[in-house]
Structure 1
């Protein structure tokens, strides 16, 4: 099958390589050093899915219509990337592989003639250098759309992707997006402190801050009437109970997530962007919680502060100490 992957970073590079290994005809879009590296040497994948190498066709923009397109850019780049390729992908199926809440709706708005789906990815991968990806945690991905049961088309595309990488078609995809957003609360503190996700969870003070951001995010979701979807052992009932727990007991949640990661340092996608000198997608992660809180008429001070601190690190180019982060959170009027 002819499959296009728009954005060949950590996840795009992973999907492109695994799809090529499964026998698909893969084209990727990339820019700058990434494009040059893929054209010269292909994509080399190592880590939890095994070692693999692919030499996909690499372009700045698509020049023909694929049978399936995966949009794997960062959330803040999605609209521009989709628009740049719309002439060739509007009318063919599109799967948005992205964090945050807006990916599928953005694709639907810009591609009115396409069937648009979303994929929630729990894989942890480090984009070590252009054309080089190391998968630190292998995990299933989850495909769907809307708030109802997984439909026949979602199941059909799940079967195609499952030839290359573990994928499950899920019901209540919108609720699962919210559950993944809670999981993505793992990203901000590593980006702010320069520590791995594992090191943040192992740090008592930072773990408390992370738990506070997660609990606040769940409470905002509940205020918005969200029914959280089932994802990685989390679901509506468990998250609702978590939202009621004191912080000392709620820390079991990030500890549980940390246990799934193993010991290979996971930098988190937000920190990887900072290390490459790129804009992060924090406005679509913790920032999304702040926006949803505003719609619900409630405050989200912890997530607002973490969003601001990530932007501070982006601007300064230097990490903050755990003590500084903890002090700033403790000064909030909670």
Structure 2
């Protein structure tokens, strides 16, 4: 089985290294100094107090790799539409695309049931580029819970977590998702198969949609956001708006709002990915985390005043950062 990690940054690199070290046939798509370092010295993974080196095929050109059995997309979600054409050489008749991106994935309404089945979301898949370029039938959902960072080109430090829940859009336990789970477990990862992966997607998005923009606007870490009465209340209000929308699509939240907020606070003085992107001058993941909630609210006629307000602020913050 051939596995390609498209976007071998911190999380993609951690995943690829673990799979490769367990004997899987892995290739990585990356770019820049990180790619050059991995080509020269292998992918160096710092984990459990030691450094492990994975020697894997690395490239910036997917055409060098040919069709794969599984392609993990571990790019920032807003970067994916632009690489749909570049990824075509990786896709054979039976290739599965594993969407390890934050927020709502392009295939969300595939085999969803109801009046919105087959709907594409402009905020995450403008013009249906992924829907038509990849095909929703290829998709396997995946939620990324680990934290990792690139400490220098070619070197990834695992911070915490090893859980990657998987699921088919229709909730079935297919042969392809079962085999993928087995491979990941053999690599020391947790890869439970969910019969409703959308519940897991929303559970992670629930926190990201508020903690990420609030942190980028205030430069506060998770412990501060969740402890301060004002930002905690704003987080709660945004999450309740999202919960109202998600439940209209049949989503079940297995924890309540307060427990979800407390769980984020327990992570400690952690900078969210959006704050890290802002500080590094990179584009922030705004549409996949906030605009999509607004768009889905419009689909079911539900207002999102708090999400709308924070969305307006964070978009203005991005414009100001780009103009600086």
Within 5 Å, give how 1:203-218 maps onto structure 2: 203-218=228-243
TM-score, length-scaled by structure 1: 0.79
Contact preservation (8 Å) 1:103, 1:118: no
Tell me what 2:9 maps to. 9
1:258 to 252, 265, 276: 265
Instruction: Establish whether residue 309 from structure 1 lines up as the match of residue 313 from structure 2.
Output: yes
C-alpha distance 198-172 of structure 1, shift in aligned 2 (>3 A) = same
Contact preservation (8 Å) 1:154, 1:169: yes
Q: Which stretches of structure 1, 4 residues or more, deviate above 6 A after TM superposition?
A: none
Tell me what 1:33 maps to. 33
Deviation at 1:177? 2.1
Contact preservation (8 Å) 1:208, 1:251: no
Contact preservation (8 Å) 1:39, 1:57: yes
SS state at 1:256 partner: helix
Contact preservation (8 Å) 1:19, 1:26: yes
Instruction: Establish whether residue 184 from structure 1 lines up as the match of residue 208 from structure 2.
Output: yes
C-alpha distance 297-196 of structure 1, shift in aligned 2 (>3 A) = same
Instruction: Establish whether residue 143 from structure 1 lines up as the match of residue 143 from structure 2.
Output: no
Deviation at 1:98? 1.0
| Residues 222-279 of structure 1, C-alpha deviations (whole Å, 9 max, x = no match) | 2xx22225xxxx42xx4xxx5xxxxxxx5443013333x3x4x432222222233221
TM-score, length-scaled by structure 2: 0.81
- Aligned partners of 1:49 and 1:151: how far apart in 2? 36
| Residues 110-141 of structure 1, C-alpha deviations (whole Å, 9 max, x = no match) | 23497321101111233444433333331411
Tell me what 2:98 maps to. 95
SS state at 2:207 partner: helix
Deviation at 1:294? 1.6
- Aligned partners of 1:286 and 1:297: how far apart in 2? 17
Deviation at 1:170? 0.5
Contact preservation (8 Å) 1:188, 1:270: yes
2:74 to 72, 84, 97: 72
C-alpha distance 50-283 of structure 1, shift in aligned 2 (>3 A) = farther
Tell me what 1:168 maps to. 192
| Residues 264-320 of structure 1, C-alpha deviations (whole Å, 9 max, x = no match) | x432222222233221211111221111112222221211222233233333339xx
C-alpha distance 275-132 of structure 1, shift in aligned 2 (>3 A) = farther
Q: Which moved more, 1:122-131 or 1:74-83?
A: 122-131
Instruction: Establish whether residue 221 from structure 1 lines up as the match of residue 246 from structure 2.
Output: yes
Gaps of 5+ in 1: 243-249, 319-334
Tell me what 1:284 maps to. 288
Tell me what 2:115 maps to. none
SS state at 1:93 partner: strand
- Aligned partners of 2:48 and 2:56: how far apart in 1? 21
Instruction: Establish whether residue 116 from structure 1 lines up as the match of residue 119 from structure 2.
Output: no
Instruction: Establish whether residue 133 from structure 1 lines up as the match of residue 156 from structure 2.
Output: yes
Contact preservation (8 Å) 2:99, 2:105: no
SS state at 1:84 partner: coil
| Residues 8-36 of structure 1, C-alpha deviations (whole Å, 9 max, x = no match) | 12221111121122122321111233323
Deviation at 1:47? 4.9
Instruction: Establish whether residue 296 from structure 1 lines up as the match of residue 300 from structure 2.
Output: yes
Deviation at 1:78? 1.4
Deviation at 1:221? 1.6
C-alpha distance 10-256 of structure 1, shift in aligned 2 (>3 A) = same
Contact preservation (8 Å) 1:2, 1:66: yes
Q: Which moved more, 1:190-199 or 1:125-134?
A: 125-134
